Every structure is written in C-alpha cells, then in structure tokens.
Structure 1
Amino acid sequence: MQFCDIRITKEALETADLRFSQTEGAVVDFFGVVRRIEEDRLIEGIEYEAFEAMAERQLALIARDATDRYGLVSVIIHHRIGFVSVGEASLFVRVTARHRRAAFEGSSQIIERLKQAVPIWKHPVYASVQIA
C-alpha cells in the first residue's frame, strides 16, 4: 500500500482530494449516510462513540489486510463520532487499485469488517414525534 489515511473525527466528512495515477485504473468511493428511519422509527440522527485509539488501530489493520488480499494501492477511511444528523455522512471510504474488481471487493471487505470489528457504537436519537 502506497498511501493510507485513517481518521476518527467529529468534523463533517468530505471527499479527499482526487489525484489520478498512471498505474491505478480504479477508484471506489463509499459514503455511509444516516437514514431517516432506524429500527422502524423516525430519528433526528445518530450519536456515535468510539474507543478512538483502538478504533484507529483496528481500521489500520483492516486496511492493511484488504491491501494484502486485494492488491489495493491506497486506502482512506474516515469515520465520524459525536452527533451526525439525518442526511449527513458518518463514514467515507476510498480505495484505489489497478483494476475495478479489486477496488470494489476491497472496499466492500473494509466496510463489512469495520462493522464487525471496530469499537464504534451508534445510538439513534429518536424524533419526539413518530408517524404511524
């Protein structure tokens, strides 16, 4: 892996600068966005909390494993903590690879492993009025 950027942040997520390389034929971006409905109830947003140091270490391990398995060239993983409103991004993942299949599969693997193994917890903040 030539580049890895792991970040746990309270700041709003934006796309990282996009620089195309002459060796990478695929760039895959993923944004995880807070939906209006959680567990069949309206929400205002989600409060995320994390054991930050451990979360960053786990994310770096996941990035390294995906790089080894899929031949990724670069990995960016940014996850928000604190309150994230409906319609805002809580997760941004970008991977680059020589070929599209590796980029898509590597990105998917990173997201699945993140949900299973990284100490980040979400707590929905339910709307005060629910529509039946």
Structure 2
Amino acid sequence: MQRMANYLCDVALVGGPLEITRDALGEGAVVEFFGNVRALENGRHISALEYEAHASMAEHQLRMIAREAAEKFSLLAITLHHRIGRVAVGETSLLLRVAALHRGAAFAASGWIVDELKKRVPIWKTPSFAERAAAVEELSTAT
C-alpha cells in the first residue's frame, strides 16, 4: 500500500484470486464492494469472463481515479484491485475498499469509483458461453 498525500492507496491488476488486507486507520466508515462474475451475460449463460487490459494504462487510470476519489470524498484509504485473465462465474473480478471518516462519503465514493472505472480504465471482458462449452464437451465425448 502506498501513501499518497493524506491517504493510503493500493491499486493493482491481479492475475489470481483477490484478497484484502484491513488496516485500522481511525476511520468511521469502511465500504467494501466485491464485483463478482454473474451467470448471465446479455441473457446468455456463461461459465467465465476473460479479462484483458492494457496494463500500464489501466494501472495509471486506476491510480488517477483513486487520487481523484480521495480528494473529492476526503478518503483515508482506497484499495482497488481488478483481476485479469479467466474469472469463473461466482468469483470476484473487482475488489474495492474505501475508508472515510463518515459513511456518506464512503458510500458515495464507492459508487463513483466503480462508475469511473467502467468509463475510463482500458479493461475488456470476453464471455465464455456455457452452451458453447457444453457443446464442445458433448462433441468430444461422442467420438
């Protein structure tokens, strides 16, 4: 975790399961958000999402968003991790933790950060559709 100005910042693209560390900073509110891969993508069943990123640009944008959020919402700490690679249904692809003196700032910052991430960070997802995987498995067992 890196100290930036008056807050702690932990930003990363991660190739494996996401974990969070909890440091007591005297905060009055902590909001944690876990973005999990859901079973449906555009109405179709999926087995996983494959995330790709332009790593240096993505990390730069994540840091910029964290910095802006810290200033805008007077945050004490931000953890913002996004997985890359294959993430199965039910697994966490986005982990966000914000600490602030008050709950209103922590909740507002969490929503703002996720919205900005989706707009600005060059991370792309490609679904692996469950029906395709089942069809491939059926073909391979039929021979």
2:119 matches 1:112: no
- Aligned-partner Cα distance in 1 for 2:22–2:33: 14
2:14 matches 1:9: yes
Match of 1:50 among 40, 49, 53: 53
Aligned to 1:18: 22
Higher RCO (C-alpha under 8 Å, 6+ residues apart): 1
Percent of paired sites with the same residue: 48
- Aligned-partner Cα distance in 1 for 2:16–2:28: 30
Deviations 1:58-81 (A, max 9, x none): 000001111111101100000000
Q: Which of these two proteins has the greater Rg computed from alpha carbons? A: 2
SS at match of 2:116: helix
One-letter amino acid of the counterpart of residue 2, structure 1: Y
Number of residue pairs the alignment of both structures matches: 128
Match of 2:101 among 98, 103, 115: 98
- Aligned-partner Cα distance in 2 for 1:68–1:56: 18
One-letter amino acid of the counterpart of residue 10, structure 2: D
TM-score of the superposed pair, with normalisation by structure 1: 0.93
The 4+ residue runs of structure 1 with deviation greater than 3 A are none
Match of 2:70 among 67, 70, 76: 67
- 1:2, distance to aligned residue in structure 2 (A): 2.0
Q: Is there any run of 5+ residues in structure 1 with no aligned partner, and where?
A: none
Structure with the higher fraction of residues in helix conformation: 2
- Aligned-partner Cα distance in 2 for 1:17–1:110: 19
- Aligned-partner Cα distance in 2 for 1:5–1:21: 14
- Aligned-partner Cα distance in 1 for 2:103–2:40: 32
One-letter amino acid of the counterpart of residue 58, structure 1: Q
One-letter amino acid of the counterpart of residue 85, structure 2: G
